[in-house]
Amino acid sequence: MALTTELGQQTQLTEVAGILLQTSTVGNWSQIQNFEAKPDDLLICTYPKSGTTWIQEIVDMIEQNGDVEKCQRALIQHRHPFIEWARPPQPSARNAKDCMVSYYHFQRMNQKLPDPGTWDDYFETFINGKVAWGSWFDHVRGWWEMKDRYQILFLFYEDIKKDPKHEIQKVMQFMGKNLDETVLDKIVQETSFEKMKENPMTNRSTIPKSILDQSISPFMRKGTVGDWKNHFTVAQNEMFDEIYRKKMEGTSINFCMEL
Ligand code: A3P
């Protein structure tokens, strides 16, 4: 694993409770462990690269009743601070293959994460869960198994892509809000990939190049379903499906196979 870049920046990952974390996050571990949610808190619990920023913007747009100007008040990372660096849970999952592709390109451009190496190297790293914030399988399976025990709204990136209005309506109901059709349509429009890619409050363009080098790969990269087909070899796909079947058995989340 790459420990430092040429610029001497720390890219080391450190294992905490069996999960690799960015070393800069480890110091805040007690903040994560000791976090106590208030009854009206809303927690967005996503695996990296599953559309965290998208759902954050959707939630804020609903909270602000579709007021675009209010959603421009601050950068997305300040409107929705990460617990590890700073409200019931709302996990959002994305099919593991596209997630892997997105994470690969994110690691290429994120100067604070280890160099992902070649695609073939990264394939191994990802399936073994040796990436920051741990294994996709453990994360998605863990939240899936919790979903009926707590007040949890489980969303899928692919569903939001297919029918954003329907999924946004689900989030709205979950948040106890009642917005009319025109406001909902506006939220759909304002949270489209194209809009969010152009919006400095959501596209991470204010983060210095020494952290996120968007000339290597933009943060708002493609925003599509199925980009894995441009990356996976036939052999990798077969191997992945086999691993997926074993690791996700019994969860009925089989979107990987359907894409
Ligand atoms: P790609 O790299 O496949 O383009 P996160 O916010 O969890 O880091 O996730 C980033 C991924 O979500 C990126 O995927 C990004 O393009 C995609 N994304 C962000 N906003 C989106 C939107 N409004 N619609 C669709 N995809 C979006």
CA of 160 to the centre of ligand 1 (A): 12
C-alpha of residue 7 to centroid of ligand 1, in Å = 28
Burial 108-119, CB ≥16 within 10 A → b, else e: bbbbbbbbbbee
Phi, psi of 37 (to 5 degrees): -75, 145
Q: Which of 221, 225, 231, 259 to mutate to test the pocket of ligand 1 (most atoms within 8 A of CB)?
A: 221
| Spatial distance between the Cα atoms of 123 and 164, rounded to a whole number of angstroms | 30
pLDDT of residue 34: 85
Q: Is 218 in the pocket of ligand 1 (CB under 6 A)?
A: no
Residue 251: name the closest of 143, 163, 162, 102 by CA. Answer: 143
Does 107 sit in the ligand 1 pocket, CB within 6 Å? no
Q: For atom 12 of ligand 1, which residue has the closest CA?
A: 51
Helix axis angle for 96-109 and 234-247, nearest 10°, is 110
What is the predicted pLDDT for the residue at 165?
Answer: 98
Query: Is the pTM higher than 0.90?
Result: yes
The full set of domains in the chain, from first to last, is 41-81+91-247 (3.40.50.300)
pLDDT for position 255 = 60
Cα(35) to ligand 1 centroid in Å equals 27
Q: Give me the pLDDT at residue 1, please.
A: 29
Report the atom number in ligand 1 closest to the C-alpha of 227.
3
| Per-residue pLDDT, 85 | 58
Task: State the pLDDT at residue 84.
Answer: 67
- pLDDT tens digits in sequence order for the chain, 259 residues long: 223 233 345 688 999 988 998 887 888 888 788 888 888 889 999 999 999 999 999 999 999 999 999 999 999 999 998 876 554 767 779 999 999 999 999 999 999 999 999 999 999 999 999 999 999 999 999 999 999 998 899 999 999 999 999 999 999 999 999 999 999 999 999 999 999 999 999 999 999 999 999 999 999 999 999 999 999 999 999 999 999 999 999 887 866 555 5
